[in-house]
């Protein structure tokens, strides 16, 4: 290995080591920032929403920083005797980083949510304390809570797009209503703004062929206010297998 290559590798390894430390610090800072924010939230519902919206995202950012840091550091551990090994080590560490990244990404996407769900369930059903008396409030049953929900809220629950929990301080009558995502998907109605806008029926206007796209009309109706709307979707032209893939189109 000539002197120029040795000097280049010395500078390269030094810079990679600095970058590795920077990404390591970034990954740790992201994780600490999330944990500090989480610990600072006292309200159970606010903590539930914060975890539900942010935990997977922040964990991925932190893990990504650690993976990049490890890949950069790994590149400083080898002394090449030939220039070609310089490119080989880069290729190997990139491949290994991608593999590790995919493993962690899939774990966060498919397995970690089960762990989050247990924590969220515990947060959701932990007795709330009344700000009036400081005593635990009562969580009402589905039948009891309807008295405290307006017609729009009840309609959202009836289509399972939203689920409401009603906590009541039986001593003072103080009521706390919390909103959670339901089991079935419904859109926000453009007329009444409740999440009760669902597909009532579908109609194929034009069937797709091997040479042309088809058209599908979806008719929406609000379960609460009765507002109706229609949207047109394209159906991708058929493949040789006879399968079609629908895609959204502007109506």
pLDDT tens over the chain, length 251 residues: 566 777 777 788 889 999 999 999 999 999 999 999 999 999 999 999 999 999 999 999 999 999 999 999 988 877 665 677 778 888 888 999 999 999 999 899 888 888 888 899 899 889 999 999 999 999 998 888 888 888 888 877 776 667 889 999 989 989 999 998 865 556 788 888 887 788 788 787 887 787 888 887 888 888 888 899 988 877 766 666 544 444 444 44
The pLDDT, as a whole number, for residue 147 is 87
32 contacts 108 by C-beta, under 8 angstroms: no
β-sheet with 162-168: strand ranges across: 138-139, 162-168, 175-181
Tokens of 122: 């515990």
64 contacts 27 by C-beta, under 8 angstroms: yes
Query: If you count them, how many residues does the chain have?
Result: 251
In degrees rounded to 5, what are phi and psi of residue 205?
-80, -40
Strand ranges for the chain from DSSP E: 138-139, 162-168, 175-181, 197-206, 214-222, 228-235, 246-248
* pTM summary value: 0.67
**Nearest C-alpha neighbor of 97 from the set 128, 71, 126, 79:** 71
85 contacts 78 by C-beta, under 8 angstroms: yes
Task: Please give the C-alpha separations between residue 236 and each of 75, 209, 213, 214, 231, in angstroms, as whole numbers.
Answer: 47, 9, 5, 7, 16
3-state helix, strand, coil split of the chain in percent (to 5) is: 50, 20, 30
The pLDDT, as a whole number, for residue 251 is 44
C-alpha 169, offset from chain centre: 34
**Nearest C-alpha neighbor of 139 from the set 182, 177, 179:** 177
Compute the distance between CA of residue 150 and CA of residue 23 in angstroms, rounded to an integer: 51
**Nearest C-alpha neighbor of 69 from the set 17, 119, 111:** 17
Compute the distance between CA of residue 103 and CA of residue 122 in angstroms, rounded to an integer: 28
**Termini Cα distance of the chain:** 66
Compute the distance between CA of residue 199 and CA of residue 220 in angstroms, rounded to an integer: 4
What Rg value do the Cα atoms of the chain yield, rounded? Answer: 28
The C-alpha angle with vertex 31 and arms to 64 and 14, in degrees rounded to 5, equals 55
């Amino acid at each position: 290995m000539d002197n120029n290559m040795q000097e280049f590798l010395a500078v390269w390894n030094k810079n990679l080591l600095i970058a590795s430390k920077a990404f390591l610090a970034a990954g740790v800072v992201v994780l600490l920032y999330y944990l500090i924010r989480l610990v600072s939230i006292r309200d159970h519902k606010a903590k539930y929403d914060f975890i539900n919206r942010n935990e997977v995202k922040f964990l991925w950012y932190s893990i990504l920083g650690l993976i990049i840091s490890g890949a950069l550091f790994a590149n400083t551990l080898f002394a090449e005797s030939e220039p070609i090994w310089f490119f080989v080590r880069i290729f190997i560490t990139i491949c290994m980083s991608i593999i590790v990244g995919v493993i962690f990404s899939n774990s966060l996407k498919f397995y970690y949510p089960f762990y989050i769900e247990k924590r969220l369930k515990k947060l959701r059903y932990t007795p709330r304390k009344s700000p009036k008396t400081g005593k635990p409030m009562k969580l009402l049953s589905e039948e009891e809570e309807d008295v405290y929900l307006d017609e729009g809220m009840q309609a959202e629950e009836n289509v399972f797009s939203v689920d409401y929990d009603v906590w009541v301080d039986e001593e003072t009558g103080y009521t706390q209503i919390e909103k959670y995502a339901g089991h079935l998907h419904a859109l926000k109605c453009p007329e009444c703004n409740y999440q009760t806008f669902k597909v009532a029926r579908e109609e194929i206007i034009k069937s797709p062929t091997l040479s042309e796209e088809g058209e599908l009309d979806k008719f929406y109706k609000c379960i609460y206010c009765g507002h109706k709307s229609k949207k047109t979707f394209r159906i991708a032209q058929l493949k040789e297998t006879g399968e079609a893939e629908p895609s959204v189109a502007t109506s």
